[in-house]
Amino acid sequence: MDWPPIRIKPSGKPLPTAPLGRSDELQVGDWAIAIGNAVGLDSTVTLGIISSLSRSAAEVGIPNKKVNFIQTDAAINPGNSGGPLLNEFGEVVGINTAIRANAAGIGFAIPIDTAEKATGTDLGRSREERLIS
Protein backbone atom coordinates (compact mmCIF):
# COMPACT_ATOMS: atom_id res chain seq x y z
CA MET A 1 0.00 0.00 0.00
CA ASP A 2 1.34 3.46 -0.88
CA TRP A 3 -0.12 5.20 2.16
CA PRO A 4 2.70 6.38 4.44
CA PRO A 5 1.62 7.01 8.03
CA ILE A 6 3.24 9.97 9.72
CA ARG A 7 3.66 10.87 13.36
CA ILE A 8 3.17 14.50 14.37
CA LYS A 9 4.43 15.89 17.66
CA PRO A 10 2.55 19.17 18.05
CA SER A 11 3.81 21.91 20.30
CA GLY A 12 1.21 23.81 22.25
CA LYS A 13 -2.39 22.68 22.36
CA PRO A 14 -3.41 19.16 21.28
CA LEU A 15 -4.58 18.60 17.71
CA PRO A 16 -8.23 17.67 17.18
CA THR A 17 -8.89 14.02 16.42
CA ALA A 18 -11.77 11.91 15.17
CA PRO A 19 -12.64 8.60 16.82
CA LEU A 20 -11.96 5.45 14.84
CA GLY A 21 -14.78 3.14 13.85
CA ARG A 22 -14.67 -0.42 12.59
CA SER A 23 -14.87 -0.82 8.83
CA ASP A 24 -15.77 -4.48 9.24
CA GLU A 25 -19.06 -3.37 10.81
CA LEU A 26 -20.15 -1.34 7.76
CA GLN A 27 -23.15 -2.39 5.71
CA VAL A 28 -24.24 -1.39 2.23
CA GLY A 29 -26.64 1.53 2.64
CA ASP A 30 -24.92 3.02 5.72
CA TRP A 31 -24.29 6.77 5.60
CA ALA A 32 -20.86 7.90 4.44
CA ILE A 33 -19.27 11.32 4.89
CA ALA A 34 -16.11 12.22 2.93
CA ILE A 35 -13.92 15.08 4.13
CA GLY A 36 -11.02 16.65 2.26
CA ASN A 37 -9.76 19.57 0.25
CA ALA A 38 -11.49 18.81 -3.03
CA VAL A 39 -9.93 20.56 -6.02
CA GLY A 40 -8.11 22.90 -3.63
CA LEU A 41 -11.23 24.00 -1.75
CA ASP A 42 -10.46 23.71 1.96
CA SER A 43 -12.64 21.72 4.34
CA THR A 44 -15.03 20.15 1.83
CA VAL A 45 -17.63 17.73 3.22
CA THR A 46 -19.80 15.46 1.07
CA LEU A 47 -22.50 12.98 2.03
CA GLY A 48 -23.54 9.69 0.49
CA ILE A 49 -23.93 6.02 1.32
CA ILE A 50 -21.77 2.94 1.35
CA SER A 51 -22.45 1.45 -2.07
CA SER A 52 -20.35 -1.72 -1.89
CA LEU A 53 -17.88 -3.45 0.40
CA SER A 54 -14.74 -5.37 -0.52
CA ARG A 55 -14.39 -3.92 -4.02
CA SER A 56 -11.15 -5.41 -5.40
CA ALA A 57 -8.29 -3.18 -6.50
CA ALA A 58 -8.64 -4.58 -10.03
CA GLU A 59 -12.31 -3.48 -10.11
CA VAL A 60 -11.25 -0.02 -8.91
CA GLY A 61 -8.71 0.23 -11.73
CA ILE A 62 -5.56 -0.39 -9.69
CA PRO A 63 -4.67 -3.94 -10.74
CA ASN A 64 -1.23 -4.08 -9.09
CA LYS A 65 -2.54 -3.64 -5.52
CA LYS A 66 -3.95 -6.29 -3.19
CA VAL A 67 -6.41 -4.11 -1.29
CA ASN A 68 -10.18 -4.32 -1.10
CA PHE A 69 -11.92 -0.95 -1.04
CA ILE A 70 -15.11 0.55 0.36
CA GLN A 71 -17.19 2.02 -2.48
CA THR A 72 -19.23 5.14 -1.79
CA ASP A 73 -21.23 7.71 -3.72
CA ALA A 74 -20.08 10.46 -1.33
CA ALA A 75 -18.08 12.67 -3.69
CA ILE A 76 -14.37 11.94 -3.51
CA ASN A 77 -12.68 14.48 -5.76
CA PRO A 78 -9.03 15.26 -6.52
CA GLY A 79 -7.62 16.64 -3.28
CA ASN A 80 -9.78 14.43 -1.03
CA SER A 81 -7.28 11.55 -1.09
CA GLY A 82 -5.98 10.89 2.38
CA GLY A 83 -8.98 12.49 4.04
CA PRO A 84 -11.29 10.49 6.28
CA LEU A 85 -14.42 8.61 5.29
CA LEU A 86 -16.73 8.80 8.29
CA ASN A 87 -19.78 6.82 9.32
CA GLU A 88 -22.98 8.42 10.65
CA PHE A 89 -21.44 8.57 14.15
CA GLY A 90 -18.48 10.66 13.00
CA GLU A 91 -16.09 7.73 13.32
CA VAL A 92 -13.32 7.24 10.74
CA VAL A 93 -14.07 4.04 8.81
CA GLY A 94 -11.88 4.61 5.76
CA ILE A 95 -9.24 6.70 4.04
CA ASN A 96 -10.45 8.39 0.84
CA THR A 97 -8.28 7.07 -1.94
CA ALA A 98 -9.54 6.87 -5.50
CA ILE A 99 -12.22 7.60 -8.08
CA ARG A 100 -13.04 5.96 -11.39
CA ALA A 101 -12.07 8.37 -14.14
CA ASN A 102 -14.67 6.90 -16.49
CA ALA A 103 -17.57 7.22 -14.02
CA ALA A 104 -19.29 9.89 -11.94
CA GLY A 105 -20.29 9.53 -8.31
CA ILE A 106 -18.17 6.47 -7.55
CA GLY A 107 -15.39 6.84 -4.99
CA PHE A 108 -13.27 4.41 -3.05
CA ALA A 109 -11.68 4.35 0.39
CA ILE A 110 -9.23 2.04 2.11
CA PRO A 111 -11.01 0.45 5.09
CA ILE A 112 -9.58 1.72 8.39
CA ASP A 113 -9.14 -1.87 9.62
CA THR A 114 -6.96 -2.58 6.55
CA ALA A 115 -4.92 0.60 7.15
CA GLU A 116 -4.24 -0.46 10.72
CA LYS A 117 -3.06 -3.91 9.62
CA ALA A 118 -0.90 -2.49 6.82
CA THR A 119 0.84 0.02 9.09
CA GLY A 120 1.21 -2.37 12.00
CA THR A 121 -0.29 0.29 14.29
CA ASP A 122 -3.51 0.86 16.12
CA LEU A 123 -3.87 4.38 14.64
CA GLY A 124 -4.75 5.94 17.96
CA ARG A 125 -7.05 3.26 19.38
CA SER A 126 -7.10 3.00 23.14
CA ARG A 127 -5.86 -0.13 24.93
CA GLU A 128 -9.48 -1.15 25.63
CA GLU A 129 -10.43 -0.84 21.94
CA ARG A 130 -7.43 -2.98 20.94
CA LEU A 131 -8.44 -5.71 23.39
CA ILE A 132 -12.00 -5.79 22.03
CA SER A 133 -10.98 -6.04 18.37
What are the pLDDT digits (tens) for 4-59? 667 778 888 888 888 999 999 999 999 999 998 878 888 889 999 999 998 888 88
pTM: 0.80
User: CA–CA separation, 55 vs 82, rounded Å?
Assistant: 18
CA distances from 29 to 5, 50, 51, 104 (A): 29, 5, 6, 18
User: CA–CA separation, 55 vs 5, rounded Å?
Assistant: 23
Residue 31 near residue 47, CB atoms below 8 Å? yes
User: CA–CA separation, 72 vs 60, rounded Å?
Assistant: 12
Residue 55 near residue 71, CB atoms below 8 Å? yes
Residue 31 near residue 68, CB atoms below 8 Å? no
Provide the β-strand partners of residue 92.
Answer: 20, 86
pLDDT at 4: 60
pLDDT band at residue 84 using 50, 70 and 90 as cut-offs: very high
Provide the β-strand partners of residue 94.
Answer: 85, 111
